[in-house]
Chains A and B, each alone.
Chain A
């Protein structure tokens, strides 16, 4: 008993075991900030998903490369046009689709690798664990951007699938450490010991008992991971080694206007704001989820 006030925190009525996902959703819906974040992110995701229906123009079309290029925002082109006379709003909408898709897919790759690596290290323990952790330390100490730049420069002309893979391959280090910690903690937890005593197989223990307990850190890591990838992809595309033309991603729209930032300010501003809002909402949601899970435990 430390703070006296704690004694009087409401003793929540013991709920039937709630799934982590349901708990997360409930928490998100409760706070105003995360509800707002959900709405904003929802709009961006929806815009991306329905891009072909919503976008006013073909994002790659160059309707008139002389008369319609470099137009500032107007009613016809709310976000202006780019040096190729393409509609920036349409490109930002399609960019949402691509940037988020890359973010989600790369994060899925990271999650798979991270969970596998962390679970193996934690479960195996001993020398294997120590060795795997040292290797992980090394990975963690390479700045991700530099590593990606090294890779992308060595492998020129990457398809988007390869870009996703590389982004995913460089994003699992942090998560695998968390997973390992959880696995280590759970390995010695009573219910696992009980399951083992009852003769459950290793694999069964892993699937039935460990994984469900990993859901919370994974959900949090995934949310924040997508945010990170969105920023990274934008950075790489801005450097011209990310998404190739004429596909639109938020980063390469900015790149298209990068050498005339002052004159074509709308080309930096709008996609940039979309990045910021996406990342911001993902961060808000990730933190709401983390709070939810931490408070529970």
Chain B
């Protein structure tokens, strides 16, 4: 187990190294020096410029720059974000918890919702309910992230103003609230973005889970369960679901990139102060170190997500648990 984990982490490190190489190449192959906007900007202080020069060795030959960059990265240094005037890792560290919170809620929510929908569909397979839910799933599945976010914002902050317009907390009053009110304030701000991301991610789960359940249903052990005199519902919930959850666990890993992409648009549209918003803003200010840091961190999250899913899989499947 530990050896497996070590091997997976090793692979992950290789992957991150390759990602870093790609992003490095990306910047340096781009027409025009992407750093020139910073280096020549009169509003950027000499100190930042010196830091950037030191960090990236901008006056050194390219191979040396690369070695330097990889070395920095290996030490957890992602460079200096000049738009925030802070180290990139510090900016991302501030933003990351917000993104993770959003993603975690959406992950749990979408899997809960998706599995529930699938169970309803499979329990009534072939019925109008099944077909209707399939159509609805497909509809939301086909929706561009940003479009749903726009519609949600329009519907629930403008037409029916149930939720605040954006941000993580009430910017004006939050600091003056008691603990209870602060929690309510946070949840109230969190609700719509989290719900939107959940609705975006749930159809994938529902569709996948429905297929997995239908795959499991012809299995002999389901027949055995029927033979025992269990109701269809019990069979579905106890025997079929437990087995059909296994493939779903691998979906957890696969859904990370989609969740991240969804979070990206949702954070932009709902002004949720997470990684996505940080990156959108960094694009605006051409804060390259931050953009690159975000891309690398995103890849790390995706890679770790797939390792996490593997571990979950092993934990959930008794056949693998022993080895």
Question: With A134-B11, A138-B15, A238-B146 in contact, do A145 and B303 touch (Cβ < 8 Å)?
Answer: no
What residue of chain B has the Cβ atom nearest to residue A250's Cβ? B144
Query: Which residues of A sit under 8 angstroms from B196, Cβ to Cβ?
Result: none
Report how many residues on chain B are interfacial, defined by Cβ distance under 8 Å. Answer: 53
Query: In residues 64-101 of chain A, which contact B (Cβ within 8 Å)?
Result: none
Contact of B34 among A142, A154, A272, A279 (CB under 8 A): A154
Size category of the binding interface on chain A: 35 or more
Query: Which residues of A sit under 8 angstroms from B16, Cβ to Cβ?
Result: 138
Give Cα A161 to B306, complex, Å: 34
CB distance from A231 to the nearest CB of B (A): 5
Contact of B158 among A142, A145, A262, A268 (CB under 8 A): A262
Verify B153–A151 contact, CB threshold 8 A.
no
Query: In residues 139-159 of chain A, which contact B (Cβ within 8 Å)?
Result: 139, 141-147, 149-151, 153-155
Give Cα A254 to B265, complex, Å: 14
Query: In residues 277-296 of chain A, which contact B (Cβ within 8 Å)?
Result: 277, 279-280, 283-284
B295 contacts the other chain (CB 8 A)? yes
Most buried by A among B30, B144, B151: B144
Contact of B298 among A146, A151, A258, A272 (CB under 8 A): A146
Verify B279–A149 contact, CB threshold 8 A.
yes
Query: Which residues of A sit under 8 angstroms from B58, Cβ to Cβ?
Result: none
Give Cα A202 to B292, complex, Å: 42
B108 contacts the other chain (CB 8 A)? no
B14 contacts the other chain (CB 8 A)? yes
Contact of A283 among B142, B223, B298 (CB under 8 A): B142
CB distance from B263 to the nearest CB of A (A): 10
Contact of A143 among B15, B283, B302 (CB under 8 A): B302
Give Cα A144 to B267, complex, Å: 17
Query: Which residues of B sit under 8 angstroms from A46, Cβ to Cβ?
Result: none
Query: Which residues of B sit under 8 angstroms from A277, Cβ to Cβ?
Result: 142
CB distance from B63 to the nearest CB of A (A): 20
Verify B147–A146 contact, CB threshold 8 A.
no
CB distance from B120 to the nearest CB of A (A): 19
Verify B18–A227 contact, CB threshold 8 A.
no
29 A-B residue pairs with CB within 8 Å: A2-B219, A3-B220, A5-B218, A134-B14, A137-B11, A138-B17, A138-B19, A141-B302, A141-B303, A142-B22, A143-B264, A146-B261, A146-B294, A146-B295, A146-B298, A150-B292, A153-B283, A155-B31, A234-B147, A235-B144, A235-B265, A254-B147, A254-B150, A268-B147, A268-B151, A272-B151, A275-B144, A279-B144, A280-B141
